[in-house]
Amino acid sequence: MNDSVRAGLSPAPEVFGGQWALADVVARLRVARMSWRKRQGRGREPGGRELPSREALAEIVHAVCGALFPMRLGPPDLREESEDFYVGHTLDSALNALLAQVKLELNYQVRHEARERPDLHQRAVHIVQDFAAALPGLRGLLDDDVMAAFHGDPAARSVDEVLLCYPGILAVLHHRLAHQLYQTGAPLLARMIAELAHAQTGIDIHPGARIGRGFFIDHGTGVVIGETAVIGERVRLYQAVTLGAKRFATTEDGSLEKGAPRHPIVEDDVVIYAGATVLGRITIGRGSSIGGNVWLTRSVPPGSHVTQANVQSEVRHD
Amino acid sequence: MNDSVRAGLSPAPEVFGGQWALADVVARLRVARMSWRKRQGRGREPGGRELPSREALAEIVHAVCGALFPMRLGPPDLREESEDFYVGHTLDSALNALLAQVKLELNYQVRHEARERPDLHQRAVHIVQDFAAALPGLRGLLDDDVMAAFHGDPAARSVDEVLLCYPGILAVLHHRLAHQLYQTGAPLLARMIAELAHAQTGIDIHPGARIGRGFFIDHGTGVVIGETAVIGERVRLYQAVTLGAKRFATTEDGSLEKGAPRHPIVEDDVVIYAGATVLGRITIGRGSSIGGNVWLTRSVPPGSHVTQANVQSEVRHD
Amino acid sequence: MNDSVRAGLSPAPEVFGGQWALADVVARLRVARMSWRKRQGRGREPGGRELPSREALAEIVHAVCGALFPMRLGPPDLREESEDFYVGHTLDSALNALLAQVKLELNYQVRHEARERPDLHQRAVHIVQDFAAALPGLRGLLDDDVMAAFHGDPAARSVDEVLLCYPGILAVLHHRLAHQLYQTGAPLLARMIAELAHAQTGIDIHPGARIGRGFFIDHGTGVVIGETAVIGERVRLYQAVTLGAKRFATTEDGSLEKGAPRHPIVEDDVVIYAGATVLGRITIGRGSSIGGNVWLTRSVPPGSHVTQANVQSEVRHD
Amino acid sequence: MNDSVRAGLSPAPEVFGGQWALADVVARLRVARMSWRKRQGRGREPGGRELPSREALAEIVHAVCGALFPMRLGPPDLREESEDFYVGHTLDSALNALLAQVKLELNYQVRHEARERPDLHQRAVHIVQDFAAALPGLRGLLDDDVMAAFHGDPAARSVDEVLLCYPGILAVLHHRLAHQLYQTGAPLLARMIAELAHAQTGIDIHPGARIGRGFFIDHGTGVVIGETAVIGERVRLYQAVTLGAKRFATTEDGSLEKGAPRHPIVEDDVVIYAGATVLGRITIGRGSSIGGNVWLTRSVPPGSHVTQANVQSEVRHD
Amino acid sequence: MNDSVRAGLSPAPEVFGGQWALADVVARLRVARMSWRKRQGRGREPGGRELPSREALAEIVHAVCGALFPMRLGPPDLREESEDFYVGHTLDSALNALLAQVKLELNYQVRHEARERPDLHQRAVHIVQDFAAALPGLRGLLDDDVMAAFHGDPAARSVDEVLLCYPGILAVLHHRLAHQLYQTGAPLLARMIAELAHAQTGIDIHPGARIGRGFFIDHGTGVVIGETAVIGERVRLYQAVTLGAKRFATTEDGSLEKGAPRHPIVEDDVVIYAGATVLGRITIGRGSSIGGNVWLTRSVPPGSHVTQANVQSEVRHD
Amino acid sequence: MNDSVRAGLSPAPEVFGGQWALADVVARLRVARMSWRKRQGRGREPGGRELPSREALAEIVHAVCGALFPMRLGPPDLREESEDFYVGHTLDSALNALLAQVKLELNYQVRHEARERPDLHQRAVHIVQDFAAALPGLRGLLDDDVMAAFHGDPAARSVDEVLLCYPGILAVLHHRLAHQLYQTGAPLLARMIAELAHAQTGIDIHPGARIGRGFFIDHGTGVVIGETAVIGERVRLYQAVTLGAKRFATTEDGSLEKGAPRHPIVEDDVVIYAGATVLGRITIGRGSSIGGNVWLTRSVPPGSHVTQANVQSEVRHD
């Protein structure tokens, strides 16, 4: 460690002799941070931490879920008399907290772009207002998702079991909230909400994906749905289905191409069974079914039934 | 929003001008709830929330785990002198809390069926009594599961590492508790416990599955075991194994068939390697091994070794 | 239950009549514990619980993450003026807490081996000192991992989004901390940290695996990397990739072989796409790419492009 | 310890040798409990704990305070748009929690009196309904108390400082809630609420005391107001004032007389300065002032100014 | 309840029939609030809650105490190596939190005065900067207070016992922090801090009081020290001592006079014993002692020893 | 601040410019600490914080109270079946925690005395063992205290109300626990426990005081009982009673005399009314009563009734 480092916050020599050599580790960590910030073209950071908080978002989503489904995801002592009070108070807290997170993201976007930030507060308010106004509509969509799960799984005993237990519902609930924020200008928060669901369920839906009514994912672990995927109404997926991009696509200068449509379009009433891999900007026509473990990289017309060909197992006996 | 909606809890006009238009959002959410309840054939809900709580169940399972394995999953300051006191007190709290949850589920079942509920409290007590009485036997089963994991994984260093670290053990532990509740009349609680494990481990075992002694799942992410699966003794699974139903099976009127046996029977001493998919009410004979990624939809006799046929990769070089 | 059991902590007869028959359940659970301890060749346990705590480790890792990336994973009110104070104080608490956990593991190792424990405290201090001293270097490695993720994913908008959101980064962060402890003599803690990440991300990296700079796992759910795997620099993996051992390998006496190199070597600049399975001590040469779902059990030279052969799907129409 | 004790829950002999001799202490504590219950004429206690909880009451009072003064004692993020939602939701939770505590008290009363308990739930509901209905009126009373404090203390800067800071206000707030419960049949809860304020402020007002509008206690530590005291409007007290009973009053059989009026009547517009002691069922006439440290055991007519007579200090010099 | 009330947030008729008549109670509470705000000359409150929080201040004071006395009031795992890191990080958090509270108070002051608020943020920063800069000096003062307590109480065994246990020290510690804020323009926060100590100790020191070095209060319950009191160095008080204002002083228009010096001046090295009452702007000369229960309303010269005259008790025997 | 200070942990110049000048404040606080440690004759502190924790003691006392009175101060869900389990487990945790605190105190005592500490752990174990063994006896004493309160207060409705509500009982409960520790060698912990009660109740009983059976303090605020006071059986005190030392007693060299008997002896069946002050090593004979506000500094024989003489008030009328 050279002198310029120690010039930072250098402890007296004897303090270096502490059990953990804390002062030394702290100084070297500072060097590492400075090196990173330099590589990123960042100067001193005059303000404080400017990134949204995963924990704050988790609480916001939890509160919004309670407000959407008060009798099922709200507090245990709720009764109909107090439902609206609970919903109103909970939403208010959640929206205020969301406003703070949106402002953090907008500030971050602006810092990155090195532009002025004149109307930032107002933009954040608009995003949250849109979010609030969208909630009743989202509730309706989610009711259809629950019905789809109930009808789609022979093991489901009631619509309430579906809402309480099914990871697929949890993932869609997060997605619909995240997609709303993604569309209105808070893609980082949207991504963080998507990852909250991913961590809980193993279902990885990019918040950019557009998903129609009555969507159901059963079991779900390992499902991946890409940013530009488009999914119609009444679509059903099983575990480990990938709606991904074809890889190796690069721009002329060799770097990966960003932003362009590169994930599948899945039309209405399609079922895709476990482990199927669907790659690229292809279209799966309305009403098709894609069998388990199928590997599909080209479009199929409506009403197709795609299964693995040549699947054989070899059986030996001792 | 029409007038009849506003008749609900309509704020004064000026309050509508608030930052989040809360009163309006609350009113529209109420409309959405009412619409859902009407679709579900439900009238006013005079009582309060009647569904069990995921958080409460998580605490109950945590406490029961401590009571089952006090020196390894119990509190850090436990010593042998105080073991029984800890176990007794912890169980008592957990069983009382479980009783409350069981009553919620029974109430819910009854409401749904629109029947009388004369002896409901007593039925709940019986379910919890059976649960308590089953715990010593479950502890013995779990000890065998731990031994199976220890012997089945070359990376395992000790039986205690297995209990503390292995997601497969966590999943089986939850399953054996959940299955007990499933059998004695609390299938919703059972499902919720199963999903607690699913969220932690990526292993999705339906609580209805019947699983014999010495069961081990290694790595585990993506494993799915269906409701009517039957698994013998000393069976070993790896990640992403599916013991599922063959799809497309519907009843005459076109809806999915519910309840019938539709998942595999796996006999004693079978090993199923990662990614294998076993579908339908088939039987895998005792002592068989199913290779990685195998797709299997018909029964195999005891002692079979099933592997993928025709698996080839194409290697190009630049 | 026989008399010798009741001799333990037998309640008066009338207490047996309690609602949960607690005294009886407690006594039978004690019998089950005694039986297990006997099978494990353990006598009475004079001391208390001696195993590390998952919750304690989770807090330690959380604190270390904050100390490594204070402005992004630290507290919301942090500013540059207070960064070093935060880092120093947080590290100190985390290292002291880690010391306690390391001592628990060392005690456990020694008990198991029935050897003396003369210098145990000092060994624990050394392990933690090494851990502390390694942190600045790990920060540098992780910065490269973040850059690799940013460059490797078309959907990534900023390096900070990557650090905050990507489960692959979370998994690698845990792995690099765990691997440090694995190398210096705390393999149980290492494993527990790895499982913390596994539970969050569905990515299962054994702490023994050696992984080079600029490592990136996209989506990640279902990835398994075995204990003796060796991964070079700038390697990229997708979800559900397995770097595993070939199974059926046993020692002469029929038990599974432990400890020997049995997982793949992946050289620099390799990409392995989703669902690929790579098994055994084979080598994937530098710069190769392994396609989705490929099943690979033999080495390939540098620059290979491996894809599934004969992959066909059968398309039917109604 | 004799055999009959050990017959309770006697541990095996070797367990007695534990570090804390826990089993022995537990057994002796049980003997002590049994002895007490016998002295109290109580048999076995078949149910569980039947007494209200101080912690639960503290939370209820905290919530009710927030509902009464949402902008000053409510949550920091409250705005006028959401005030009613907050008030309604908070009240609902608090009233439900209060209902549970009232039922505990009623059960306890009934057990003590060994009577039937047919309509107990309904009585509890009525008590809580009365409490809820009384709140708006109590808010008005408390506003007057705040104004009285503001006008009565030269150091007061604003009415809001008074509400936030003055222990006298805190005590009166608790008293007015407690008195409501005292009047409607929950004297134990009332007493517990009074003691919450006593612990915070050093002001001990029995919930039975009747206190008029515009009441102010300055500083307050050491104030004692007895059960049957009656206080008019606009009365002001300072620290260490006692409105107590004359002692030595006993019934014919020598035991202390219970329940009869035995504390002072203080008419409107009286001021009582610090340390004054007013004892017995006397009347302090309207508009009187009682000086510091005065000892008063007989009634005084309206407009009296009572001071210590013969108060002299002796001053020596070195 | 008239129509104009219901125009607020009137629920549908049937909701009025709920168990707690919540909608009705909420509406009537709103009427009570509106009535209060009208009496206070306040209009609609467009913003949110603007008052500081007692809980937030309690945490700030707790943190500052730790930073002042890290080895005695700081965290248990602190070692000398990490002392400065802890102090710096803790201070930073506490000062940031204090800044938020100071801004709330300044906003409140300004609203009250209906003036502009141009430089409010900067004024708040200055107040907190002054507070931070004063801390080292306050630590020195407090060390002297601790020494005074140690030397003044025969029961004190060590200086550390004094710091940890003595309510008098707790009160002085709070006072010295509160007085700093009182002097620099945050009198409401100052008062709230004083009341935190009052609630803990029964010692009521107005934050405006000026108190010299080496101040000690023994036992302390019931001590009251007024806003304009001035206390010299090495003064010692016992429980229930009042340094108060003479009452009945009013301005010409009959209201109580505010702000003028009205409490005693106590010169250096004075001792005042338990229960003594000292009233008015009098001076107790240097080195005097005031005996227990003395009532003093005129100045005494240096070196006076004041005791109760004519104190006699009457002893009867049965 | 001179250079030698900055040599400590001196930040780079630009960091001094931070908003709070943190580095500077931290450095000056270190100087203040060093100055104090030097004045106290202390060198560097190689270990960590060695003082017991108030919070830890509060939890221990809370747990012990629950173990002593499980059905009244224990958890709400306790039933007779689980009483002993709760008591045993709770005691075990509390005793282990107490052991840690006792070790801190013993270490502190030894450091102060600069002696060796060979058997310190064993001494701590003995103190806790004695504490545990004393608990059943203390429960019996406390039952008598509760009965005394019930019989002594006309407002008491049941023995359980007394235990739950009366601050006098809370104070005696803490005292009896504290006195046990005081006697067996942990006077600092004893004092801290006494101050926990003092803060809650305003009753300040030094843990050294010896107090007989059936003791009752009514209201209690302001009571002070000194270290060497001796109180017989069935004694009753009211608020603001002082059993103190006569002041001005000093040793020959002018410092205050420590440790000698200096507080009153109160024999059996004495009643002391509110505000009475009893000072010095005098004896109040059995069965005496001391009236309110009496000032007593000489012994009185058994059966005395002491009242204020010459108490007159002057009454003026407007």
pLDDT tens-digit profile of B134-156? 999 999 999 999 999 999 988 88
The band of A81, judged by pLDDT with boundaries at 50, 70 and 90, is confident
Residue F100, token pair as written in the block: 């840690």
Mean pLDDT of B307-312: 75
More confident residue, A119 or C230: C230
Residues A275/A281/A285/A289 CA torsion (nearest 10 deg): 0
Residue E67: pLDDT band (50, 70, 90) is very high
Distance, in Å, from the CA atom of D199 to the CA atom of E143, rounded to the nearest integer, reads 29
The whole-chain average pLDDT of chain E stands at 88
The residue of chain B with its CA nearest to that of C37 is B143
Angle at C305 between CA C299 and CA C310, to 5 degrees: 95
Residue D48's pLDDT band (cuts 50, 70, 90): low
Q: Is the pLDDT of residue B116 over 90?
A: no
- Would you state the pLDDT for residue F198? 98
Give residue A247's pLDDT band: very low, low, confident or very high (50, 70, 90). Answer: low
The alpha-carbon gap from E117 to the nearest alpha carbon of chain D, in Å, equals: 19
pLDDT above 70: residue B298: yes
Amino acid at E182: Y
3-state SS, residue D276: coil
Whether the predicted pLDDT of D265 surpasses 60? yes
Which residues is F295 bridged to in the sheet?
A: F277
Cα(C193)–Cα(C209) distance, integer angstroms: 14
For residue range D147-204, what is the model confidence (pLDDT) as tens digits?
999 999 888 888 999 999 999 999 999 999 999 999 999 999 999 999 999 999 999 9
Q: Is the pLDDT of residue C165 over 60?
A: yes
| More confidently predicted of D78 and F127 | F127
How is E58-115 classified by DSSP, letter by letter? HHHHHHHHHHHSHHHHS-TT-BGGGHHHHHHHHHHHHHHHHHHHHHHHHHHHHHHHT-
pLDDT at A41: 81
pLDDT-above-90 percentage for chain A: 70
In this prediction, residue F255 carries a pLDDT of 63
* CB contact (8 A) between residue A18 and residue E85: no
Task: Examine the pLDDT at C218 and tell me if it is beyond 60.
Answer: yes
The architecture CATH gives domain E222-318: 3 Solenoid (2.160)
Answer yes or no: are the C-beta atoms of C216 and C148 closer than 8 Å.
yes
Q: How many residue contacts between B and D have a Cβ separation below 8 Å?
A: 30
Q: Convert the pLDDT of each residue in B80-115 to its tens digit.
A: 888 999 999 999 999 999 999 999 999 888 875 655
**Arithmetic mean of pLDDT, F188-212:** 97
The pLDDT of residue E109 is 85
Instruction: For residue range E252-265, list pLDDT tens digits in order.
Output: 666 666 678 999 99
pLDDT in tens, F36-85: 988 888 765 555 667 899 999 999 999 999 999 998 999 887 888 889 99
**Distance, CA of C291 to CA of E38 (rounded, Å):** 74
Q: Which residues in chain A are closer than 8 Å to B256, comparing Cβ atoms?
A: 151-154
- Residues of B with CB below 8 A from E12's CB? 7-9
Q: Across all residues in chain A, what is the average pLDDT?
A: 88
pTM of the predicted model as reported, rounded to 2 decimal places? 0.91
Report the C-alpha gap between D217 and D229 in whole angstroms.
15
pLDDT of residue D14: 39
Nearest 10 degrees: Cα torsion B147, B148, B150, B155: -170
> H/E element holding D97?
helix D83-113
Per residue in A254-295, pLDDT tens? 666 667 899 999 999 999 999 999 999 999 999 999 999 999
Which residues of C69-121 form beta strands (DSSP E)?
none
Contacts of F258 in chain E (CB under 8 A): 154-155
CB contact under 8 A, D85 and A81: no
CB < 8 Å to E19, chain A: 79, 81
Region F260-273 average pLDDT:
96
> In chain A, which residues fall in CATH 2.160.10.10?
222-318
**Inter-chain CB proximity F9 and A9 less than 8 Å:** yes
Share of chain B above pLDDT 90, in %: 70
Q: What is the DSSP letter of E13?
A: G
Sorted by sequence, the CB contacts under 8 Å of residue A187 that are 6+ apart come out as: A181, A207, A208, C157
Indicate the CATH number for domain D52-202. Answer: 1.10.3130.10
- CATH 1.10.3130.10 in chain C, residues? 52-202
Say which residues have a Cβ less than 8 Å from residue C254's Cβ, sequence separation at least 6.
none
Nearest to residue F214, comparing CAs of F175, F275, F172, F257? F172
C113 band by pLDDT with thresholds 50, 70 and 90? low
E37's tokens? 């705000």
Q: What is the pLDDT of residue B146?
A: 97
- The set of chains that have 3 or more CB pairs under 8 A with C is A, B, D, E, F
pLDDT tens digits for A181-234?
Answer: 999 999 999 999 999 999 999 999 999 999 999 999 999 999 999 999 999 999
Distance from CA of F183 to the nearest CA of E (A): 15
Residues of C in contact with D11 (CB under 8 A): 8-9
pLDDT at E198 over 90: yes
Pair A78, A71: CB distance under 8 Å: yes
Residue-wise pLDDT tens digits, B195-230: 999 999 999 999 999 999 999 999 999 999 999 999
User: Rounded to the nearest 5°, which phi and psi values hold at E83?
Assistant: -60, -50
Question: Are E96 and C77 a contacting pair at CB < 8 A?
Answer: yes
Q: Do F132 and D32 touch (CB under 8 A)?
A: no
Neighbors of chain D by Cβ distance (3+ pairs < 8 Å)? A, B, C, E, F
Q: Do B49 and A72 touch (CB under 8 A)?
A: yes
pLDDT for position E143: 97
Contacts of F9 in chain A (CB under 8 A): 9-12, 15, 23
Measured in degrees and rounded to the nearest 5, phi and psi for residue D3 equal -65, -35
**Per-residue pLDDT band at D211 (split at 50, 70, 90):** very high
- Pair of tokens at residue C247: 């199974």
Per the DSSP assignment, residues forming a β-bridge with F317 are D304
* A221/B227 CB distance under 8 A: no
CB pairs under 8 A between B and F: 46
Average pLDDT, chain D: 88
- Tell me which chains share at least 3 CB pairs under 8 Å with chain F: A, B, C, D, E
A165 and B188 within 8 Å at the Cβ level: the answer is yes
E229-to-C27, E187, E232, E285, E301 alpha-carbon distances in Å:
68, 16, 10, 14, 17
Tell me chain C's radius of gyration from C-alpha atoms: 24
Tell me the average pLDDT of chain B: 88
| Interchain proximity C35–B68, CB inside 8 Å | no
pLDDT band at A50 (very low <50, low <70, confident <90, very high): confident
pLDDT tens per residue, range D227-254: 999 999 999 999 999 999 986 556 666 6
pLDDT at residue E153 greater than cutoff 50: yes
pLDDT of residue B181: 98
| A11 → closest Cβ in F9, F12, F15 | F9
Check pLDDT > 70 for residue A318.
no
> What pLDDT is recorded for position E115?
55
| Tokens (6 digits) for F92 | 């075990």
Higher-confidence residue of B10 and F146: namely: F146
pLDDT, tens digit (0-9, with 9 covering 90-100), for E23-60 = 999 999 999 999 998 888 876 555 566 789 999 999 99
Q: What is the DSSP string of A17-75?
A: GSTT-HHHHHHHHHHHHHHHHHHTT-----SB--S--HHHHHHHHHHHHHHHSHHHHS-
Which residues of chain B lie closer than 8 angstroms to D15, CB-CB? 81
* B82:D11 CB<8 A: no
Substitution target in D14, D15, D16, D81 with the highest count of B β-carbons within 10 Å is D81
In chain C, what residues touch E132 (CB-CB under 8 Å)? none
The DSSP result for chain B, as a single string, is --HHHHTTEEEPHHHHTSTT-HHHHHHHHHHHHHHHHHHTT-----SB--S--HHHHHHHHHHHHHHHSHHHHS-TT-BGGGHHHHHHHHHHHHHHHHHHHHHHHHHHHHHHHT---TTHHHHHHHHHHHHHHHHHHHHHHHHHHHHHHHHH-TT---HHHHHHH-HHHHHHHHHHHHHHHHHTT-HHHHHHHHHHHHHHHS-EE-TT-EE-SS-EESS-TT-EE-TT-EE-TT-EE-TT-EEE--TT-B-TTSSBP-SS--S-EE-TT-EE-TT-EEESS-EE-TT-EE-TT-EE-S-B-TTEEEEESS--EEEEE-
